[in-house]
Structure 1
């Protein structure tokens, strides 16, 4: 297992690795030393962790080994450093001689290395089929043959999508994401990486289930011209009872005092960070909603992030008792699983979506970049999430739109559909038996195609 250096990628890779390992397969999990040290502790011998130090490159702080350690404009240097691991990875595969290697989009060079060594490979996408399908065939991504040249071209479904769908980027989401089509310090943009990853593997695996993504999975089969296998939604296991009892104790005590389904949980993952203007409108909207809230707030991304954001003056004093702002790590699964939490204001990262829906929590959506815009449209199309209204050109939003969106989803009759749909989907997203069967099917394919 060889994930991209982002915890939104590392943790789904680890979850799939744990399920495979528990079914009797030997797993080597490859990442950098600091990333491996930050992972949850596992039972001895379940998985072998392999630490590959990142080569130094200009522009990359020596302490940065994951996207969460860096402001967005420095992630390009992380990719440049990652690309220098091709020789160490070749040597590692030559010594381990695995039957299969699962690699991420950034390591587009892994498939050819594995093939030279007689090792089968899978590009494993933690992004959903709709995102991959919207991007298009490898030839379009690699050769620059995409007929879509301007941001506006991405605001409708592409011509290779052969079924009715409203899934497409909003103008502001694609504008925020458009830098991925420009070459960066590594010399290889993200679209080319995805295209080469899909082209140069034996099988594509994707975080998905056919009950939810049947049309998009069929489309991927057609445009990739090779097997595309869903591995399930990979819901996380229930948190261990002994994990961080002190931190959880004080949070639980506050949640226990709130009414059932009354609390809005607010968190934007390990990478998404609002601008100062966005943070101000968010905070004042949350305040004006009148709802109790628990907010996990990241004020900067890594030590080298020069743009620390701040809450509006007096916000915490005015909301004291009604809400909590946590600027350190918080046990998200425990919080989402508490009866007092009714809704989740999220960036639409798919791991957060899976956690929320498996625990029956309604979704209020505020996207920032990358695949989040497509994720939000999929959820909106299925009436599984309510997007905060924004200015179509620049993505700005107001405190009033935030407050109204929270009240719609949490308490209004109009928003009952989102509360009901989240409960309906909990069986699909949180069913561990179903998840196990998806991995059984995947393993059967791997064993039959060694």
Structure 2
């Protein structure tokens, strides 16, 4: 087995032994991963590699003065010999097994999370980046001969032939009925739905020999003795001849112009950093928001993120600060939505960007701020999805009403979802609820 096969096998083993995604998201160490590199713990799997002795330890065929000669007896192993799990004194090791990491990029993470949750979110393209020629599905009345749609031309000519075709011999026999004229034969043909023109009848009348006129006493007698053939029967017998093509039937294939759109997304992450947001609440925010960031990064061509922290006021922060920052102030959630609206309007127009606004906190808010300010702002901000995640370990507190008020006010809108996370076990359910709402 070559080195390339060894490396592929290493990745296969890592995939098999890595921590389950649900366990990783709910209980694993998310802080060791970056925005473009997700590290999921696995048991140690040594990557195959070549190892060389250090020069000062000699090489093949070289002794160091204490090396036995060939055939010389070797004594029993001494303490410290070998590469066992003991410490340097030979005692058994007490440390747990080391762990390495199975590394995923956001694209693989999104694919695996889709499989885990049974979802397949199809990202939407917004900004037109170029126009390209697609398949030749459009048609025009003019164009080069090489693009002439001959199949369409033939079909139009064939339809015309079938609509104009009639049994000429049958009509000629009608001209032999005694006492008839071209005019009477023409009227009889129209009554029988024989699509013959008056001019054709007049032209063919003179071709009937005089000795054959009066061969039939009536049209009824003629019909009883002469079989009328259908168009299909004649085509089968004689083949298809003289298909009448016309210039107005000509159509030229033209390539469809396809707009290639870049799948842009901006995600505004909002979190409460007020004094009530203690460590367990902050951890639940991190466990919910970080996987969503990775997922949307993997799904979209171009993903940008805005991080907003707030207590009574709001300010934009960097990603590294977002999950660890803490304040001691009060809470006014509307301040964050005002800042989000300002940033989105100025930098990420709705016509060009898919927009997600995700907020999280313990649902505690200043009096009437939710109904009077936050709900109207959420209605004003155009977004693919608004989500609010309530993080209240142990259940909802008495004064934590923000999530319920948002849900009550905006539940009829298809782009608003509210999730409740009281423990790590709830995180995957919240992520599923948010992503499945967007998919629907």
Q: TM-score, with normalisation over the residues of structure 2?
A: 0.25
| Higher strand fraction (1 or 2) | 2
Larger radius of gyration: 2
- TM-score by structure 1 length? 0.24
More helix by share: 1
